[in-house]
């Protein structure tokens, strides 16, 4: 079995403690529940040790089955899931957490390594109460670290103002055509790790971009591998998704080369003001 000892880690703040998280993980968004077990087992076989799911993906059960069927001990796996918008609120969040744990495999899964608020849903105005409930779960030993997804700086600052803590991590849409510099700068200034969803921009024309193709040809890698390597070198946690064994392995094979400063600058120049693919955080409720 391939080992992932060379995968870099990032440090997440968890109250007065800190924990290490693999910087390269495996995402299962849009993976069907009946295919999630095989995909997770393949990812763990390749060497991934971080798995990212969510209640709304409807594949927590399959993910849990894949972890249970793997030869990799649960203690070696960094597992993330998320509370969905309809489950926000103090008591609802705790019930949603218990339901997610049950789907993932029950008590053997605990403590969950990372629990995230999926969207801020500002019109509902429940994300602060949700975050407080998650902190209670962490302080009770059921979660190791708590974080958020798709939060803008004003949402992050409000959490700090009303709870005394910033989230450990902010998972946001982030790829070469949408680089989220303002969010990344705020997070860097406040000790919040940034994690990229849709790190490859959901494929499409980004994989045939001539700048990226030129870099890929020079380093002897694919464009997807160049993009994943770019995420790692600028400090993002990255969670590429695939159900194809060859692609799962390809996305992991990014630890044996480095991009130059010129490469990083060239990719930085690909940022676009209209590069967002998903909804704006203030528009989803």
Number of helices (H), then strands (E), belonging to the chain: the values are 10, 10
* Dist. CA 225–CA 254, nearest whole Å: 6
Contact 237, 169 (CB under 8 A): yes
Sign of the CA dihedral 95, 101, 102, 107?
A: negative
80, 127, 121, 78: which is closest to 100 by C-alpha?
A: 80
Question: Which active-site residues does the annotation give?
Answer: 57
What would the two tokens of residue 246 be? Answer: 């060859």
Calpha distance 252→59 (Å, rounded): 22
Contacts of 165 by beta carbon, 8 Å cutoff, 6+ apart: 15, 135, 159
């Amino acid at each position: 079995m391939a080992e992932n000892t060379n995968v870099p880690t990032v440090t997440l703040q968890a109250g007065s403690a800190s924990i290490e998280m693999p910087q390269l993980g495996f995402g299962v968004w849009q993976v069907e529940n009946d295919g999630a077990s095989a995909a997770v087992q393949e990812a763990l076989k390749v060497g991934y040790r971080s798995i990212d799911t969510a209640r709304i993906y409807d594949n927590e059960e399959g993910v849990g089955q894949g972890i249970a069927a793997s030869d990799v001990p649960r203690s070696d796996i960094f597992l993330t899931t998320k509370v969905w918008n309809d489950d926000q609120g103090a008591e609802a969040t705790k019930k949603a957490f218990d339901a997610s744990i049950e789907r993932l495999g029950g008590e053997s899964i605990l403590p969950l390594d990372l629990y995230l608020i999926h969207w801020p849903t500002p019109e509902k105005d429940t994300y602060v109460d949700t975050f407080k409930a998650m902190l209670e779960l962490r302080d009770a030993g059921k979660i190791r670290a708590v974080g958020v997804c798709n939060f803008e700086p004003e949402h992050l600052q409000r959490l700090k103002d009303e709870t005394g803590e910033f989230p450990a991590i902010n998972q946001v849409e982030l790829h070469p055509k949408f680089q989220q510099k303002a969010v990344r700068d705020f997070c860097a200034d406040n000790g919040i790790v940034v994690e990229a969803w849709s790190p490859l921009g959901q494929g499409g024309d980004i994989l045939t971009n001539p700048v990226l193709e030129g870099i890929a040809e020079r380093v002897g890698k694919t464009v997807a591998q160049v993009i994943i390597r770019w995420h790692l070198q600028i400090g993002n946690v990255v969670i590429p998704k695939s159900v194809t064994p060859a692609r799962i392995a390809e996305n992991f094979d990014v630890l044996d080369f480095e991009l130059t400063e010129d490469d990083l600058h060239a990719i930085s120049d690909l940022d676009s003001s209209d590069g967002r693919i998903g909804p704006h955080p203030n528009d989803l409720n």
